[in-house]
Structure 1
Amino acid sequence: MGLLGILVGLFLMIGLAYRGWSILLLAPVAALVAAAFAAEPLLAHWTQTFMTSAAGFFAQFFPLFLLGALFGKLMDDSGSVATIADFMTEKLGPKRAVLAVVLAGALVTYGGVSLFVAFFVLAPMAVALFRAANVPRRLMPAAIALGTSTFTMSALPGTPSIQNAIPMPFFGTTPFAAPGLGLIASLIMLGFGMWWLKGAEERAKRAGEGFGEDPPKVDATPADDLLVRELGTVAREFDPAELSRGQPSPTRPPIALAMLPLGIVIAVNLVMSQFVLPSLDVSFLAEERWGETTLAGVGGVWSVVTALVAAIVAVISINHRRLPALRDTMDAGANASVLPAVSVASLVGFGAVVAALPAFAAVRDALLAMEGGPLVSLAVATNVLAALTGSASGGMTIALDALGEVYKAMALDAGIDPALMHRVAVISSGTLDSLPHNGAVVTLLAVCGASHRESYFDIVMVAIVGALIALVAVIGIGSVAGAF
């Protein structure tokens, strides 16, 4: 009955979430359903298990949600993201329409700009380029997804994405864990995705298929859709409803100034994680008032937080005259972080209750007994949970909360570098999370005026198949050569 309860609770949560119900309601209800089937104390699980775990996640990672959303909103309202998109359009032009969209998306998201902010800037750019090049508009969502939702989220070393930050406290790693393997995975994802999109473009031309009809006008309407909002806030770290808040700049900065904050994010992140923090005496962290932790437990988060603060100061300093309603923009950015952080924390609370049930022992034992060792087991667990929840960050945190300590111990026993575990976990979170119910997929299709029937297969190829190939390669190479 315990295992049945877990399944009933899980599918109840998934089914209603896909229909637009708030995960803030569904996660505790699903957790209590699972606990009820196991004849476990309901109120104790809600207040002591669910809430404690959710609060722990929130306390640990909310600074990243807050600063990431704030930085994205400032970059958007200052016109910096639009400047970068226009620059890529000008330099690559219609002859390289797909590549221009992919690289523009990669540049802004690797620099720390929120996925949803990028969607609403890149979609009009893609429409103009694809129309001029007569490339089928049904390929627009896949091109945007390749640049924003694959290698810059999970593989490129130092990416400030929340997904890259989550494994750091579990494995004592930094944002630059296994940089060589991350670069290999990035090249595989980018190379495979471009190969697929180029082939799709050529096949369309041979069949006489052009751009087609113009999609519905791209504006902020999808961001105000309640279904898009509920799904989107679980999938990524920005509440789409806040995109229309604030006041965009009537002018745009030059390209050098627009790109400067992105470079600051990467540079400060690297310097902090590799040089500054390791040189500090942080023995005081072992005291009870600091949580009896270590630099390995907090250093990664500190690196990204410092990088985002430096970038926020830079973008405000550079664009203070282009931000006529600075307070409104900052309020919108801050507000955009809250619902995603609490939503993902609620998923983590659900996972904590499930992991505490006696029936979960059978699931745990089956995962840990898989052939291939901890790398394969971690990849499978993270993939499955990310797929079920429609959330890369939620699925990975549930897996690591439940089994992270076990995986770390198994890795040490097997001589596996924790950095390799980190990279495998992050890449695994960004594969099957892109199933049809994923909030980022739903939002992207809405913004592009496309349907699942038209465009989802190409999204599968560039965002799921390419990522799975990269994951297999990283596991294979890492198993032989270790982390590098």
Structure 2
Amino acid sequence: MIADLGLVVGLVLLIVLALRGVNILLAVLVSVLVIGVANNIPIQDIFLKHFPFGPSGAFSFAGNFLLLFLCGGLFGRIMATSHAAQGVAVGIIERLGQKRALLIAMLVCALLTYGGVVVFVVMFTMYPIGVTLMRTANIPRRLYAAAIALGAGTFTMTALPGTPSIHNVIAARSLSTDLFAGGWYGVFAGAVMAVLGMWYLQWQWQRARQRGENYVANEKDHQMAALAPRPDQSMPSLWMSLLPIFVVLGTIVLPRVLEMSGVQSVWQDFANQQPVLWASFALIVGSLLCFILFRPVRKQFVTAAGKGVDDALLPLINTAAVIGFGGVVIQTEGFHAFAAWLLALEIPTLMSVFVSANLISGVTASASGGLQIFMSSLAPAYLESGIAPELLHRIANLAAGGLDSLPHSGAVIALLTLMGLTHKEAYRDIFVVTVLIPMIAALLAVITALILV
């Protein structure tokens, strides 16, 4: 009884501390102490074994994925320093017009994140440009924040095949699949997320106009507007700006193309067996192409690279901390009872995957953290039940991208803080496009798979 109560108290404590803005690493350390003590786990095992070095340990995860985070941070920062990221945004604005501001925000964020640019870099790229878009189109700031969340944190993160996102790589590494596993289910679910999400935002924008709700600037807007590209500032063309992203994706897809064409190459086996290294290599190739193409980044490449490393470290530490939290949780009897209950549910196995991955991601408020814990603790049992690794890869990815965006999510808090918004002002719309609609899309993918398999 005390053990189960301690587990619940520890989970609630983590959520409450995160919502109050406490550093996630501190919140995790306090929470795992409560859970460990309540479950009679020796303190030395909590902090020197299960949390840092267990199968779901913080340092175990950080060591395995450090290179990918660093290369992602490097590519994102170099895209920003070279003005290529801004070039994508400006180019799409010129073609679609500022009145389509919500669609522009979603498309630009989706293109950048699908190509491997770190989510936080995308937020900082789109917000300064977005001030002008919001002002011109008279869009409430809460809806623009939701459009950024839709483009940067949903279908390109978990659904679309081939992306070098950490979620895609975690599943590939754990299941010995490639980054395109379950691709058609991902494309289907991604289309559902994009279409339903944009429909919802446009509908809310129409309702806002009818209510007389307008764009209202705040101090954050004035600060960030100064960082937006000036009208006289030279920007790379849209296609030139997109070229590094295409090269990253092309490098990732090359082994699959060679395999489909019947060509045998040692690179194919390497790419399939080492998804972390291959995705990292693709991001490095994209960074080097930026160095070659764009003069601004050549002048400050070393500085930009250093900032890229800084961009990578905080997300890596935060994600690792959440996974270390899971490393302690899975040592408890309560978790094993919970896992046994999930596996014994009288529902189709794929539906059980949907439920379990969602719940774990919801508790940790992290799709990557929840997915890593799911893969290390529950995935083997699902594989033994007969689910194909490629299908488990994609369905688990989709499910992990549902409840991960609850109010205590680090990405949600970062976006709201960046734009000077509160949960009360903006979270409802973010919830719809990053929780409700992704769960609907994942559920539809599960139903489709149950019909076809």
User: TM-score w.r.t. structure 1 length?
Assistant: 0.84
1:352 maps to 2:335: no
1:363–1:316: structure 2 CA closer, same or farther, 3 Å change rule? same
Residues 362-441 of structure 1: pairs in structure 2 closer than 5 A: 362-410=337-385, 412=386, 416-441=387-412
8 Å CA contact retained: 1:119, 1:444:
yes
SS where residue 157 of structure 1 aligns? coil
Identity over aligned residues, as a percent?
36
**Helix, strand or coil at the partner of 1:43:** helix
The question of 1:182 aligning with 2:183 is answered no
Is 2:171 the counterpart of 1:167?
yes
Q: How big is each residue's C-alpha offset from its partner over 1:246-270, in whole Å with a ceiling of 9 and x where there is no partner?
A: xxxx753232221111001111111
Cα shift at 1:130: 3.0
2:177 is the alignment partner of 1:206:
no
Equivalent in the alignment of 1:262: 245
In 1, Cα distance between equivalents of 2:284 and 2:192: 32
The 2-side partners of 1:30 and 1:99 are apart by 40
Q: Distance in 2 between matches of 1:432 and 1:29?
A: 23
Letter in 1 for 2:424: R
Unaligned runs of 5+ in 2: 228-232
1:84 aligns with 2:88: yes
**TM superposition shift of 1:155:** 0.7
- Does the CA-based 8 Å contact 1:168-1:175 persist in structure 2? yes
Cα distance, 1:421 vs structure 2: 1.0
Q: What is residue 452 of structure 2 aligned with on the other side?
A: 481
3-state SS of paired residue (1:50): helix
Question: For the residues of structure 1 that align with 2:149 and 2:96, how far apart are their CA atoms?
Answer: 19
Identify the residue that residue 228 of structure 1 maps to in structure 2. Answer: none
Query: For each residue in 1:91-123, what CA deviation from the matched residue of structure 2 results, as whole angstroms up to 9, or x when unmatched?
Result: 111332221221111111111111111112212
Select 1:65's aligned residue among 63, 69, 91: 69
Q: Distance in 2 between matches of 1:158 and 1:56?
A: 25
CA contact (8 A) 2:19 2:407 kept: no
User: Once the 2 structures are TM-superposed, how far is the Cα of residue 172 of structure 1 from its aligned partner?
Assistant: 1.6
Per-residue CA deviations over 1:160-219 (Å, capped at 9, x if unaligned) read 21112111122221111111111111110111011111211222233333x332233437
In 1: Cα distance, 2:347 partner to 2:258 partner? 35
| Paired residues of 2:81 and 2:296 also in contact (CA < 8 A) | no
Determine if contact 1:156/1:182 at 8 Å carries over to the other structure.
yes
The answer to whether 1:310 aligns with 2:310 is no
Post-superposition Cα deviations, 1:236-291, rounded to whole Å, max 9, x if no partner, equal: xxxxxxx9xxxxxx753232221111001111111135647994569xxxxxxxxx
Aligned length: 440
* Equivalent in the alignment of 1:34: 35
Contact 2:131 2:221 in 1 (8 A): no
Question: Matched residues in 1 for 2:222 and 2:279: separation?
Answer: 31
Q: CA RMSD in A?
A: 2.5
Distance across 1 between alignment mates of 2:134 and 2:65: 38
CA–CA distance in structure 1, aligned partners of residues 239 and 156 of structure 2: 21
Q: CA deviation at 1:153?
A: 1.0
What pairs up with 1:229-244 in 2 under 5 angstroms?
none
Q: How has the CA–CA distance of structure 1 residues 159 and 3 changed in structure 2, closer, same or farther, with 3 Å as cutoff?
A: same
**Which residue number in structure 2 is paired with residue 287 of structure 1?**
none
Provide the rounded CA distance (Å) in 2 between the counterparts of 1:180 and 1:102. Answer: 22
Say whether the 8 Å CA contact 1:396–1:425 is kept in structure 2. Answer: yes
Q: Does 1:271 align with 2:274?
A: no
TM (norm. structure 2) is 0.90
Write the distance in 1 (CA, Å) between the matches of 2:335 and 2:140: 47
- Residue 442 (str. 1) matches residue 413 (str. 2): yes
Deviation at 1:320, TM superposition (A): 4.3
How far apart are the structure 1 equivalents of 2:425 and 2:51? 40
Q: Which amino acid aligns with 1:182?
A: G
Write the distance in 2 (CA, Å) between the matches of 1:56 and 1:19: 28
CA gap 1:220/1:354 in 2 versus in 1, 3 angstroms: farther
- Uncovered stretches (5+) of structure 1, i.e. residues with no partner: 222-242, 244-249, 283-293
Question: What amino acid maps onto 1:405 in structure 2?
Answer: P
What code does the residue aligned with 2:254 have? V
| Matching residue within 103, 111, 122 for 2:126 | 122
Report Cα offsets for 1:440-481 as digits up to 9, x if no partner: 222222333333223221112222121111011110001121
Equivalent residue, structure 2, for 1:218: 221
Is the CA contact 2:10–2:31 (under 8 Å) kept in the aligned structure 1? yes
Distance 1:176 1:450 in 2: 37
**CA shift for structure 1 position 49:** 2.3
2:304 — aligned with what?
329
Give the C-alpha shift of residue 295 in structure 1. Answer: 6.3
Q: Taking structure 1 as reference, are residues 455 and 9 closer, same or farther at Cα in structure 2, changes over 3 Å only?
A: closer
- Confirm whether residue 454 of structure 1 aligns to residue 431 of structure 2: no
| Aligned partner letter, 2:345 | M
- Bigger drift between 347-356 and 65-74 goes to 347-356
What residue is the counterpart of 2:79 in the other structure?
A: 75
**C-alpha displacement at 1:297, in angstroms?**
8.0
Of 67-76 and 325-334, deviating more is 325-334
AA in 1 matched with 2:427: Y
Partners of 1:21 and 1:60 in 2: CA distance: 27
Contact 1:185 1:474 in 2 (8 A): yes
